[in-house]
A and B are shown apart, each in its own frame.
Chain A
Amino acid sequence: MTKQNHYPFEASLRRLEELVEQMENGELSLEASLKTFEEGIKLTRECQLALKQAEQKVSLLVEKNGEQPFETD
C-alpha cells in the first residue's frame, strides 16, 4: 500500500475536522469554500468506504520465518 494509507483514517478524519472548522470559522471566499467542501466530501466518502470495506488482516510474526497468515475463526 502507499504511504498515504499508513494512517488512512486518523489523518483523514483529522483533515476533515480541520476543513469543517475552516468552513465554520474562516471567512472563506466562495471559491475557497467550494474547494474545502469538495475535499471534505471526498475525504468523508473515502473514509466511509474504507471502513465499510475493511477486512481484518491477521498474521503471525515469527522471527525466523517472517510473516505467516494466521487462521482466525
Chain B
Amino acid sequence: MALDNLSTNKGHNRAVISVANLNQMARRLLEGEFPMIWVEGEISNFVKPSSGHWYFTLKDSSAQVRCAMFRNRNQVQKVIPKDGLKVLVRGKISLYEGRGDFQLLADTLEDVGDGELLRTFEELKVKLQKEGLFDEAKKKSIPELPAHVGVITSPSGAAIQDILNILKRRFPAIKVSILPVQVQGKGAEQKIREALVFANNYTKPPFDVLILTRGGGSLEDLYPFNSEITARAIGETNIPIVSAVGHESDTSISDLAADLRAPTPSAAAELISPDQYEWNYNLERNKQRLNQRMSIVLKNNLAHVRHLKKRLQHPRQRLQELNQRLDNLELRLINKSRFDETKRKIERVQQKLIDNINNKMTTNNNHFMSLANRLDTLSPLATLKRGYSITSPTGERGKIITNANNIKKRDAIDIRLSTGIISAEVKKIYD
C-alpha cells in the first residue's frame, strides 16, 4: 500500500493498517529518503551479543540514536567501540520494525581522534610527494634472488612469523636477519630510523633487500610508519626496501616511500623470494636443453665422422681403379708395340714380296725377251721373210695345208707371205 493512497482515504472511508504495515512503510520511507551519512557522537550502551553484531547508542549533549553494526561490517573496523569513545559513524538510516525503533545501520566507524591523524597524514603525504620522495624514478629494483634479507619489525609480532614461514617454504636458502624494533608507541619512528641506518651500513654480509613491516592496528598504532622521520630514513637507505604495513587496505607513508609496497607481511616475503620449485623446474629444463643440444652435437659429429670415414675409403678404391687403368694401359702399350712390330714385319715382308715380284718380273721379262728372241728365230715369219709362204684354207687361218691331198680343185686358199696375203683358187693339184 502506498502512502498517497493513505492520505486520500479520509472520513468514513478510512483505511486501517496494521502496526507491522506502518513500521514497514516507515522503514521504506526512511531508507529511501536518507543518503549514506556521517554522524558524529559518543558511544554508550555498547553491547556485543553472541551473534557477533554490535549495538550501541550514539549520543551528544542533547540527543541520542540507536545504532547497529552487523558482523560483516564490524569485522573490518579498525576502531573497537567502547562507551565514551567519540566517533564518526557512517551509515544508513532505518527502522527496526520489531520495536519501532528508529536506528542508524552503521557501515564504518572512525575514531574522532584519528581525524587529526588523518589530516596530518594527508598533509605530510602531499609535502613529501612534492619533494619527490615517492617518485617512481627513485625506486630501486628488487633483486630476483636476495642472498641476505633484513626484516625490520617487532621480533614478537605475527608479521615476522608469517615472513619466516613463507621464506622457508619458498626459498630456505635465503639468509634472514631480524632487526628488532619497537613498531608502535612513542619513539618507535626513531628506532625504525636507527634500524634502517644500521642496515644500510651492515656488511657481514650486506643486505640485498629489507622488509619494513608490522601487522594491522589502529591509525595511532601505525603512526610510526606514517611519520616524516621514517619516510626520510627510507629515502636515505641504499638498499631496496619492501614495506608492508597494516592491513591490505591501509597505505602508509612508508609504503609510499619504499621501493615496493606489499599488502601484507606474507606478500612481502613472496615478493622478494623466488619459488624454489620454479627454480628447480628451470634447472631441470636447462639440463634437458643441455642434454638435447649435446646429443645433437654428438650425433652431428658422429655423422660427420661416418661421412669422412666413407670418403677416406675412396683412395683405396681409386688406387685399385688407377692400378687397373695402369694395367690396362700397359696391356694396350704392349699390344701396340706388338702391333707395330707385326706391322713392320708385314711391311718388311710386303717389301720383300714386292722386291721379289719385281725381281721375278725383271727376270721373267728378260727370260721372256730371250724367249721372244728365240721364238722370233723359230717363227715362220722369219722363214716367210726368206721367201717361204704358208697356205691355209680361206677362213681357217690356223689350219696349215702341208699336204696337197688335203685340198681339192677350186678350193679357196689364202697364201700368207712375209708381207701380205694372197687369196687364190686351186687350179690343179700335183702329187
Contact = CB atoms under 8 A, between A and B. Distances in A.
5 contacts: A51-B173, A56-B167, A56-B176, A70-B155, A70-B178
Q: Which residue among B155, B173, B287, B301 has the maximum number of chain A CB atoms within 10 Å of its CB?
A: B173
B286 A60 contact: no
A51 B202 CA distance: 26
Interface string A31-63: 001101100110010011011001111111111
Interface stretch (B289-297, B345-353, B383-391): B289-297
A20 B287 CA distance: 8
Given A9-B279, A58-B164, A23 B290 contact: yes
Contacts of A13: 279, 282-283, 286
B220 interface: no
Top 4 closest pairs, chain A to chain B, by CB: A54-B173, A23-B293, A10-B145, A33-B297
Contacts of B198: 61, 63
A7 B176 contact: no
Interface in B340-389: none
Contacts of A67: 177, 204
Interface in B377-414: none
Contacts of B150: 61
B59 interface: no
A4 to B, nearest CB: 12
A2 B290 CA distance: 28
Contacts of B202: 61
Contacts of A7: 145, 147
Given A19-B290, A40-B286, A60-B177, A51 B280 contact: yes
Interface of B: 143-145, 147, 150, 155, 161, 164, 167-168, 171-180, 194, 198, 202, 204-205, 276, 279-280, 282-284, 286-287, 289-290, 293-294, 297-298, 301
Nearest to B151: A58
A61 B178 contact: yes
Interface of A: 6-10, 13, 16-17, 19-20, 23-24, 28, 30, 33-34, 36-37, 40-41, 44, 47-48, 50-51, 54-63, 67, 70, 72-73
Contact of A33 (B155, B179, B286, B294): B294
Chain A binding surface SS class: helix
Nearest to B198: A63
B145 A23 contact: no
A24 B289 contact: yes
Contact of B293 (A20, A44, A47): A20
B164 A60 contact: no
Contacts of B176: 56-59
A72 B290 contact: no
Nearest to B174: A56
Nearest to B289: A20
A58 B287 contact: no
Contacts of B194: 63
Nearest to A25: B293
A62 B290 contact: no
Contact of B289 (A9, A23, A55, A61): A23
Nearest to A1: B205
Nearest to A50: B173
A41 B293 CA distance: 12
A6, A36, A51, A55 interface centre (most CB from chain B within 10 Å): A51
A45 to B, nearest CB: 9
A48 B298 CA distance: 26
